Each structure stands twice: as C-alpha cells, then as structure tokens.
Amino acid sequence: MVNTVGSPKTNKFWNKKWIPIKNNLRLTQIQREVIVGSLLGDGTMRKGKDAEHANFKVEHGLAQKDYVLWKYSMLKDLVFTEPKISFRYKNNGEKYPKSWWFRTIRHPLLTEIYNSYYSGDGYRTGKKIIPVNFIHDLTPSALAIWIMDDGSYNKNRKGIDISTYAFPLEEIIKLQSLFRKVFKLKASFYKDRDKGYRMYFSISETKALIHIIHPYIIPSMMYKIGF
C-alpha cells in the first residue's frame, strides 16, 4: 500500500481517487531514462519528513519552458499537477518569476530509484551517488538528458562540458570508466575552483558524443551540443 500523509480528510480523498491509480502505475523504460538522466543533472528526489516513498522534481529556468514541458509529457502518468512557474521575492518584497517546475507523486517505483541514487535519508542529508548497477541505466537517451540538463558547448574549445559538481572525485573517476566501457568515450575532468569537478570532452570525443546523443536532443536544447 502506498503511504499517504496529511489530514484524515486528505487521506480519504486520496484513498478514493488516487490510490487505485498509483497502485496500477508502471514505469516505462523512457520514463526511467528521463528520471535517471535528470538525476545526474538538475533533477532531485526527496522523501518527505514523514513519508514512506520518494517523489521526483523537475525545475529549469524560464528560458527552458519547452524542456520542462517535454519532460512533463514523458512523465505525465506520474504527475497530477501540470507544470507551473516558481516565483521568488526581491528584498523589497517585489515578486518575480524564477523557473518552471513540476513534481511527481510519491511512489514505490520512485523509491527504488531513490534508494539507488541517493545516500542518507533524503530529507536533510541525502546526497546523489553513482550506483553500482549504473551501467544498466547509462543509455544514449539518459546521457542525452544529462547533457540537456547540465551540459554546455564551449565554442572556443569546440567541446562539450558537463557540470558534475554534485559528485565527489571518486564518483567522477567511476563515470570516466563507465564512459569508456559503455560508449568508448574518453572523458576528462578538472577542478573548477571551489565548485567541484567538471567533466569535459575533446573535439574528437565531442564529435563521437554528439553522434550518440543527437537523436535524443529536443529542438529547443540543440544549443547544448553546438547546433
């Protein structure tokens, strides 16, 4: 049974309307790839303070609205509220739009992914990790989503960089090894001041990388690979 949190009235509503839907949900391959690729980048998963299961959140800047809507279209079965704008406030109290976002429901299938990709309890101390079985999740589609999230094209160097600040050095080295094993790609890295480590690809390796991920890059994100 899926855990619900809230008032008795809220729980009653969920039991009648949503619990049967949630219990019948199945995660497709492309949905898993969207979630995994996003977790490597800007996506986050979290367990609430008193929740049994995890949910998944997508949030990108205002200019990437099409990308958010694309992810929503892929994960729509898991989302009960359409994407919306997140607002922030200036020091003078003025409200301004910051980003587009949506969040999935909590579900055991998401908890399974969370347990693989996070250490800690996920409420305050959860940290992203590269799981032991990551080789099975590192598909061309997941890689493309990761690039669309955290990749950038360096016009001067004519190469793709990936912001891997969320991962410690040992995880970066693990990723290097997996890139070689799965895609025959050589990824390098450097320490970006106090931010963490950043991976990058040479001109020749970038060409090979683009060949792998190009079919999965949506039109509005082609600038991430220099198009």
pLDDT digits (tens, 9 = 90+) for 119-175: 865 444 578 899 989 999 999 999 999 999 999 999 999 999 999 998 999 999 999
Tokens in use for 154?
A: 């360096």
Residue extents of the structural domains in the chain: 8-120, 135-225
CA distance linking residue 4 with residue 27, whole number of Å = 20
Domains 8-120 and 135-225 share a fold: yes
Q: What CATH number labels 135-225?
A: 3.10.28.10
Per-residue pLDDT, 19: 67
Per-residue pLDDT, 142: 97
CA distance linking residue 175 with residue 184, whole number of Å = 12
All residue ranges of the chain with pLDDT < 50 are 1-9, 122-124
Per-residue pLDDT, 7: 42
Q: What CATH number labels 8-120?
A: 3.10.28.10
Tokens in use for 169?
A: 């050095």
Decide: pTM greater than 0.85.
Answer: yes
Asked if residues 185 and 159 have their Cβ atoms less than 8 Å apart, the reply is no
Q: In sequence order, what DSSP letters do the residues of 124-168 get, joined into one string?
A: SS-EE---TTGGGT--HHHHHHHHHHHEEEETTTTEEEEE-TTS-
Tokens in use for 152?
A: 């950038």
Q: Name the one residue in this structure whose structure tokens are 């898993």.
A: 32
Q: What is the amino acid identity at position 19?
A: I
